[in-house]
Every structure is written in structure tokens, then in C-alpha cells.
A and B are shown apart, each in its own frame.
Chain A
Amino acid sequence: MNPTSPFSLCVIALVALSLLGLPVGHAMIAGSILYLYMKGLDMGTAAEQLLNGMYTSYLLLAIPLFILAAEFMNSGSIMDRLLRWCNALVGRFRGGLAQVNVVQSIVFAGMSGSALADAAGSGKLMQSLMTRDGKYTPAFAAALTAVSSVLGPIIPPSIPLVLYALISDTSVGYLFLGGVMPGLLLGIVQMALIAFTARRRNFPVEPAVPLREWPRLTWEAFPALMMPVILLGCLYSGITTPTEAAATAAAYALAVSAFLYRSVSWRDVYHSLVTSARITVSIGMLIAGALVFNYVITVENIPKTVAALLQAYELSPLTYLLIVNVILLILGCFLEGTTILLVIVPVMLPTAHALGIDPVHFGVVAVVNIMIGLVTPPYGLLLFMMVKIADVPLGDLVREVMPFLGVMIGALALITLVPDLVLFLPRLLGYKG
């Protein structure tokens, strides 16, 4: 490729500006403007692509609404009730509280589409519960919250799967269904690892909750436990669009916190709106930049070129998937996940398509990779968040994360090798792929 061609310069500018510390969204817009200028095209095209793209991608509205739903959930006392219920379920085993942490994340994953929201919501509470009386080391507790939060966007609802649906033109409903079993599998391998090390590390056991307490605890947590049912019910019965299902989820979360648990004030609602809006702006700017940059990618026909290039190597679908896994895992160590999803994955898609890889399977594999990237050093947003919440050194945290990373990558390999793990549920509900 000619290094002084407009496209090369556009990519160089994008990478250079990002490395200099410019927000990635701006870097993509600025790089694209440079491209338009070099090509002698109308520089108003950047505005046109951004505005029309944002204005017509109705599906994207699910993102702020899912964020809002998670914020409403976090602002009420829902988390306390959920934790008591999880404790009744698995607290009695060795390493009980550690297991509670994972089960809580699985349940919360069914209500929220964001891993960082899960860690922010339960992180502090879980940390103080687990480290009280020196039960667990702070680093282990923090590492566990980080890795279990990874499940949030794999089990539906999921913000990254909504983004993937947008770039790949795949049904959100089937993608969500495809995430269920991989998400549970990741939860199971984490719980298995805890059970396996519990005796050696002498993890404590929580006092068993008597059976007669169970109905009351379940009743208290019931409205929260119903959230995934309502959300997925809305989606799969076809009553609402995915975006409307997200709005319903947010409304339900608000109603449960406000009326049933009476734990939300107007101030909390306003605070949730501001927090959600800030996150929306941050991710929205990245989407805006990607819309402009994707125009350049399309004009230059890059994905097709890459696909043609790779065709010469006569890769098998499996080899290609494994290569994709390795690339995404490495990128996940250095880049923020949304950037990978919006910039790198679209380039990988046409080849996957040409090789006959199922788009739902490919999407779930890509998202699991990107989520694992949230806990891989040196750059892992969940690690940074837990360092802040738990006040533990990054090195100690990373050491405790490593074994979990191992089993999660094992589970990822299984998900990659056995497409049925992803596709069984979507096919059961009518997916033809």
C-alpha cells in the first residue's frame, strides 16, 4: 500500500492522534476530514455521515436506555436483596461468599448490559463483605468482582451485542439468545475454579441459611429477579422492539426501586440520569466517530480487500476464528473494547462471511473476547475500576486475576470450537443459520 495515499495518511493520523491522547471519537473524525481533504472530496461529508448516521440508527437508542436501567437498579436497595438471596443459595459452600459474588453477577447480568455498571453497583458492597474479619484478601475479592462482572454484557441484555448488531446487520434478539449459554459457561468455570481452590486456600463457609427463610428472601428479591423475565419476554414475544424493551426495563427498574422498595428519591433519579447521560455521551462520541470513519472504509472498499487478501491463504473457518481470537485478545490488552468493536471487528466481518462463519456465532465470540479484554493488563477498565474501589495495588490484583483469565480463555476456546454452544438457543427460537 502506498504510504502517502489519502487512506494511509488517514489511518496514520487516526493512530497518531489517538496515541497523542486525543479522544478516539475525535481522532476518527479528524482523520476522516484529512482523508476527504486529500481526496478533494467535500469536507461537509463528515458532518453528513455523522448526522444522518446518528439520526437514522434507531437501534442505538437501546444503549442509553440499558445504561439507565442499570443505574436505576444500582440506585435502589435492589442489590442488598439480591445478595441476601444469592447468599441463601450458595453461601453454605466452602468459599461461599466468593460463589455469591459470581451468582450475583450472573443474575445482575440478566438486568444490565454493562460490565462496568455491575462492578460499580456491587463492587463496594461485595468488597466490604468479603474482606470483613479477614475472610478473603482484598486483592482476591477485588479480582473476583472484576472477573465476574465480565459476564454482564455476555448474558443479555448487552450493550456490545447491540453495537455488533448494528455493524453486522444481525438480529439483536438472536444475538442476545446466543449470549446466554456462553455467559453461563463463563460463570460456571469461575465457580468451578473457586470450588477447586477453596480448600487449599482455606476459604470460609457462610452460616447456612435455614430452608424456612428461603421463601421470604426469594419474595424480597422477587421483583428484581423478574427483571430479566420481563425484558426477554418483551423482546422474544415480539411485543416490543429491542429499543422499547430497553425502555421498559428502565421503567420497571425505576418502578421497583421507587414503589416496592421505596428507596429512591428525586435526587437519585436526577443523579442516575446525569451518570447515564455522561456514559452515553462518551460511548456516543465513539459511535459518531466510527460512523464517519466507516464511510472512509467503505469508499476504500477495505473489508473486501482484506477478504480477498486472506482468501489467497485458503484459511479454514476454524483457523480464521482462532486467529481472530488471538488478535482480539492481544488488542484487548491495549485498547478500549468499544473501539475494537467499532473499528477492528467490521474489517474482520466480510472474511468471516466469505468463510461461511455464522454471524451470530462470530459476534458472540468477538464480544466474549472484548469482555475478557476488560480484565487483561496493562489496559483493562475493570482492573482500573477495582483498583479505585478496593484500593489494592494493580500488581496484586492482576496476580489474582490470572488463574481466572486462564479458565475464561479455556471457556472461550470451547465457545469458538463448538458453535452449537452459541447457536442452540437461537435455533430453538427460530433462528435459521
Chain B
Amino acid sequence: MSDRRYPDAAADDFPAPPTEFTDREDRTVEIRPYGGSEAAYESLVEMYDAFDPSDRAQGIPPGGEKRIREWLDAILDDDCYNVIAWCGDQVAGHATLVPDGDAYELAIFVHQEYQRAGIGTHLIRGLLGHGQAEGVEKVWLTVERWNRAAVSLYKKIGFETSNAESFELEMGLRLNEDEEDGTDEDDEG
């Protein structure tokens, strides 16, 4: 699990939240880091409770409020980075980086009412900007290979496929250069 591969070069700079934009449905959407307030937490629970089960990926988000809360408690922990897309006081989408050894695992969810409006792109860029500012070096994710919309979004962002041998594609992105040394010239090709 620790031999994941990442692009050699660090990605360009992503905008650190808070940021605001108008989506393709003319809604004002604000991207903000999750600050730990109870109101934000409950709004997240509400979004996931209303989440279309057909948009689940590899078992998340879980179904049912109790399991949603357990899952959120784990991924909203202090060592994780979380960013929320707000439309007024409603959560339109949520993206998260969860630590995994020397890297972070990424996931992003946009509520079905807010999909296909450009929010996912802003949200993931906001999350990566937040992670970049906090010094995160490496990010990986898995995506079901039939999920073309997601795969093309990740590619557009700069993710490169690191493992295509399973049901799911694994992709990696380097956010910041290695801190320890620059001699990361291992077995390329």
C-alpha cells in the first residue's frame, strides 16, 4: 500500500479557500474550510442523509444517519482537511483529505441537486489549495473506472493514473515538493 506512485513534478498552485463563484445555474456558491462548528456538521449530515445512493462510490457515503455520523466523525478529525461548498446555509458539496501514512486520500461528493454546475471543479481545487497551503505533499484517490465524469475531472486537475490493474483506477497528485530531499529518482519507467 505504501508503494503508490506520484507525478515527479508538483502541481501548479490551487486557490486557497475561502473563494466564491457563481455556478452554471446562477447560484452563488462559497467554498470554505470546515471549521468544526456544530451547525456545519449538522448541515453535512443533512446533505449526506439526502444523498442519492446511486452516487455512492466504493461504499461511501454510508447509508443511514447513524453510520453517516460515524463516518463523518472519522473524516472530520483534526488531522484531516475538509472543505465545504456552501449555497446559502445548505451544503452543496464536500471534499476531504484523510491521512494515510505520508500521503492523503481524497474524496469529493456533490449533492445531486448541485451536480453538472461546475461546483465539483471549484470544490476540488479549493480542497487542494487548502491542502497545499497546509503543506500536504502527496494525494491519492481511487475512482470506479466507468465514472468518466470523475476520471476526466481528476485528469484535468493534474492527477495521473498510478494503478489501472483493478476494478478501480488509482490516481496520484503531488501538491508540494518533497521536503526531505530532492533525490526522488527511483525506478521510473
Q: Do they bind each other?
A: no
Seen from chain A, the residues whose Cβ lies within 8 Å of a Cβ on chain B are none
Seen from chain B, the residues whose Cβ lies within 8 Å of a Cβ on chain A are none
